[in-house]
């Protein structure tokens, strides 16, 4: 029979009983606890719908190996293949492409992965097994993201110039992130909550129209200034510069972090900058839009206003856009995503 359990053993059995989702383990734990309370094998087996031989067997397991002896074995057949070795190979293979191994496919299939592993290990791994094991090791089937491999050879120097400008940002020497954005009358499509099996329809005007904004985001205060225009040209950028000059009249210098778009470098822009020496442009590295913080503002503008909008005319859409731009300061943190439209 089972000798009396001490307080620690009884607490471990009770805790495991409360946490387990394994019904078979729950029966075995209850049997040991009932035997500990002085129940006989017969009186223990009856409420658990078990045979007396099963209760004796569970008791032997516990006396030989303790709590571990009561744990259930893994369901199904034991793996005949070296699981750890194969999953390590799967991680290594999916980090490369089939073309690296001489195949004509540009993407891995489970059949091709199984073929390559069988070639390496001289095994009989099935494609269905590969398909079942991949999610277990964190490898899923999803769409790839396009990216550019073009690198700016002067990226370090440009990033250092931006960081230096930001470190000197003050009331007399403001630093702003400047960029332009397109506003399309045809709405950008985006995800929304809708009943399963149904797709919400967003009516489009049919004939698209465009408008453009130039904006500037203060690096410290989050204040947003903007201008709008019919064309995204040097005139729009210069209008933005003129508004900044009027707004920051007392500033001794105004530094703008801008991208490499042509209107920031045009002759017309250069002539205006020559007449206004307090302005300084710091260009971000090419193909690095994330450097410019105002890109987050444009993303918020699209998510809040232009995505799935139902405006039929450009003036309706621009009314919402202007309200957003005039109430978004300081950005982020103004609660633009939950702000209501103010009606006059």
| DSSP structure class, residue 213 | E
Give the per-residue pLDDT at 307. Answer: 92
Query: pLDDT tens digits for the chain (344 residues)?
Result: 666 888 999 899 999 999 998 899 999 999 999 998 889 999 999 999 999 999 999 999 998 888 888 888 766 666 667 888 999 999 999 999 999 999 999 999 999 999 999 999 988 899 999 999 999 999 999 888 887 677 888 899 999 999 999 999 999 999 999 999 999 999 988 888 888 888 888 888 878 999 999 999 999 999 999 999 999 999 999 999 999 999 999 999 999 999 999 999 999 999 999 999 999 999 999 888 889 999 999 999 999 999 999 999 999 999 999 999 999 999 988 777 777 776 55
d(CA 94, CA 139): 8
| DSSP structure class, residue 188 | B
Give the per-residue pLDDT at 146. Answer: 80
**Angle subtended at Cα 159 by Cα 153 and Cα 161, rounded to the nearest 5 degrees:** 110
Nearest Cα neighbor of 178 from 225, 229, 233 is: 225
The sign of the torsion formed by the CA atoms of 128, 133, 136, 141 equals: negative
Q: Would you identify the CATH topology of the domain 157-193+203-338?
A: Nucleotidyltransferase; domain 5 (3.30.420)
Give the per-residue pLDDT at 93. Answer: 94
Lookup result for tokens 């995505």: 307
What tokens were used for 216? 């500037």
In the chain, where are the structural domains located?
7-70, 83-137, 157-193+203-338
Give the per-residue pLDDT at 258. Answer: 96
Give the per-residue pLDDT at 1. Answer: 60
d(CA 231, CA 67): 75
For residue 218, give the 3-state DSSP assignment: strand
Q: Would you mind telling me the total number of residues written for the chain in this entry?
A: 344
Give the per-residue pLDDT at 77. Answer: 61
- Residue 69's CB: how many other CB atoms inside 10 A? 14
d(CA 185, CA 309): 9
Give the per-residue pLDDT at 342. Answer: 67
Beta bridge partners of 22: none
**Angle subtended at Cα 120 by Cα 116 and Cα 122, rounded to the nearest 5 degrees:** 105
Contact 302/188 with Cβ under 8 angstroms? yes
d(CA 103, CA 33): 61
Give the per-residue pLDDT at 4. Answer: 80
Lookup result for tokens 């630093």: 175
């Amino acid at each position: 029979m089972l000798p009396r359990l001490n307080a620690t053993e009884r607490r471990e059995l009770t805790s495991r009983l409360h946490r387990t989702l394994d019904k078979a383990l729950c029966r075995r734990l209850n049997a040991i606890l009932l035997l500990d309370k002085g129940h006989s094998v017969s009186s223990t087996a009856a409420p658990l719908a078990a045979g007396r031989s099963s209760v004796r067997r569970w008791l032997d397991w516990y006396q030989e190996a303790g709590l571990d002896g009561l744990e259930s074995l893994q369901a199904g057949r034991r793996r005949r293949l070296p699981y750890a070795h194969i999953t390590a190979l799967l991680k290594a293979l999916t980090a490369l492409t089939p073309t690296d191994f001489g195949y004509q496919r540009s993407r891995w299939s489970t059949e091709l992965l199984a073929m390559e592993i069988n070639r390496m290990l001289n095994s009989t791994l099935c494609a269905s097994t590969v398909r079942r094991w991949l999610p277990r090791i964190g490898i899923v089937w999803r769409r790839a993201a396009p990216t550019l491999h073009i690198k700016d050879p002067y990226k370090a120097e440009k990033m250092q110039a931006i960081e230096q400008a930001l470190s000197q940002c003050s009331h007399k020497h403001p630093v702003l992130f400047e960029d332009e954005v397109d506003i399309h009358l045809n709405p950008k499509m985006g995800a929304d909550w809708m009943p399963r099996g149904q797709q919400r329809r967003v009516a489009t005007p049919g004939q698209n129209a465009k408008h453009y904004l130039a904006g500037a985001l203060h690096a410290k205060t989050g204040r947003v200034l903007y201008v709008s225009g019919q064309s995204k040209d040097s005139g729009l950028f210069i209008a933005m510069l003129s508004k900044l000059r009027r707004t920051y009249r007392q500033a001794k210098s105004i530094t703008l972090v801008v991208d490499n778009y042509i209107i920031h470098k045009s002759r017309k822009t250069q002539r205006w900058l020559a007449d206004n020496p307090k302005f300084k442009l710091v260009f971000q590295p090419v193909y690095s839009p994330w450097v410019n913080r105002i890109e987050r503002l444009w993303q918020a503008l699209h998510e809040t206003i232009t995505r799935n909008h139902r405006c039929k005319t450009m003036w309706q859409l621009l009314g919402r856009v202007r309200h957003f731009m005039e109430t978004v300061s300081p950005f982020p943190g103004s609660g633009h995503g939950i702000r209501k439209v103010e009606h006059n």
